[in-house]
Amino acid sequence: MQQITIRRPDDWHLHLRDGAMLRAVLPETARDFARAIIMPNLVPPVVTLADTVGYRDRILAALPKGAVFEPLMTLYLTEDTDPADVAAAAASGVVKAVKLYPAGATTNSHGGVRDLTRVLPVLEKMAEVGLPLCVHGEVTTPEVDIFDREAVFIDTVLDPLRRRLPGLRVVMEHITTEEGVAYASSAGPTLGATITTHHLILNRNHILAGGIRPHYYCLPVAKREKHRLALRAAATSGNPQFFLGTDSAPHTDALKEQACGCAGCFTATNTMPLLAHVFEEDGALDRLEAFTSLNGPAFYRLPVNQTTLRLVKHATPPPFPDKIVTEAGPVTVFNPGFPVHWRVEA
């Protein structure tokens, strides 16, 4: 029997939603993870310090009895965000980052930013107080092909922004391309990049060849195989700039399996076994802990977790649930399409 014990992981990019969905999905993350950066794209979005305090309280109230889990809150950046509120948010200790959604880029992003020059005072304040900016790195220009939107964003938005504000710490969220890997690798310690579990497993053929698979559709959309391989190399490299952000994003089956389905893969339930599989396949099990438990805290300037997580490899793949039940309907758990022999055990 093969096994590995690592420091308890954190998820540096997570969607928990609210209400009944929050109550259904939170235990899936809290089971394995000590902390998570909580995305603010609720309806309406979480835009002020007061909003984050309320949302954090609802998350804590939804935790199962005995669970030890710390939500690390984010503010949803709008063109009306007040630099003073952001400074107060940073000082409060509740808010660990501000999230930039280019308006229209993804789920509930219409309240996001259209014109970056309008949020420069906020970004300058963030650089001053050391609060990181988490970026959904895709342009929204309709003419730009969806598979090119990340690379174009890096050249036309991210790089100019970082040159203008070199003191701003930025996380490129859920990178999906070799261009993203190259840009992050060449940048200094003010830049981090999260990588999702599903982007280490999927390329665009998995979504589209032989039938359309809505549960593999997410944003940014999975790209060609060469990009997946670049992400695998980055995640398993041990390079401190890369860390896990699952982007686990629950939508009910009814919303995924329709003519215009929602974007998001729900990986909270089985991320750690999947990552053990991926890292073992690449001969990098000894670097799993860096990716899931060390590099993220270092970037966010937070202590590493003191508790641990044990993963055990079984001869027969242990079953995992294919769906979780929510009051709004079932949510399909990400199925990688291959047997997974690893399981988290006490």
The residue ranges that bind ligand DOR (CB under 6 A) are: 15, 41, 106-107, 136, 218-219, 247, 249, 263-264
∠ CA 165-42-155, nearest 5°, is: 30
- Choose between 42 and 90: whose C-beta lies nearer to ligand DOR: 42
| Least distance CB 339 / Zn ion (angstroms) | 28
| Least distance CB 107 / ligand DOR (angstroms) | 4
- Choose between 34 and 42: whose C-beta lies nearer to ligand DOR: 42
Tokens of 284: 């990098």
Residue 102's DSSP bridge partners are 113
- What is the C-alpha separation between 214 and 330, in angstroms, rounded? 14
Q: Is 119 helix (H, G, I), strand (E, B) or coil?
A: helix
Q: Which of the choices Zn ion, ligand DOR, none does residue 106 contact, using the CB cut-off of 5 to 8 A by kind?
A: ligand DOR
- Choose between 51 and 289: whose C-beta lies nearer to ligand DOR: 51
- Choose between 25 and 285: whose C-beta lies nearer to Zn ion: 25
Determine the residue with CB nearest Zn ion: 247
Given the residues 57, 85, 247, 253, the one annotated as active site: 247
| Least distance CB 26 / Zn ion (angstroms) | 16
Q: Which residue has the tokens 């503010």?
A: 75
* Segment 230 to 249, residues that bind Zn ion, using CB under 5 A: 247
Tokens of 82: 């007040």
Given a contact cutoff of 8 angstroms between Cβ atoms, the answer to whether 241 and 184 are in contact is yes
- What is the C-alpha separation between 247 and 67, in angstroms, rounded? 21
Q: Which of the choices ligand DOR, Zn ion, none does residue 333 contact, using the CB cut-off of 5 to 8 A by kind?
A: none
Q: Which residue has the tokens 């944003």?
A: 219
- Choose between 194 and 293: whose C-beta lies nearer to ligand DOR: 194
Q: Which of the choices Zn ion, ligand DOR, none does residue 198 contact, using the CB cut-off of 5 to 8 A by kind?
A: none
- 247 counts as catalytic: yes
- The secondary structure of residue 39, as a DSSP letter, is P
| Least distance CB 151 / ligand DOR (angstroms) | 17
Burial 284-309 (b: 16+ CB within 10 A, else e): bbebbbbbbbbbbbebbeeeebeeeb
Q: Which residues are part of the catalytic machinery?
A: 247
Contacts with Zn ion by CB under 5 A lie at: 247
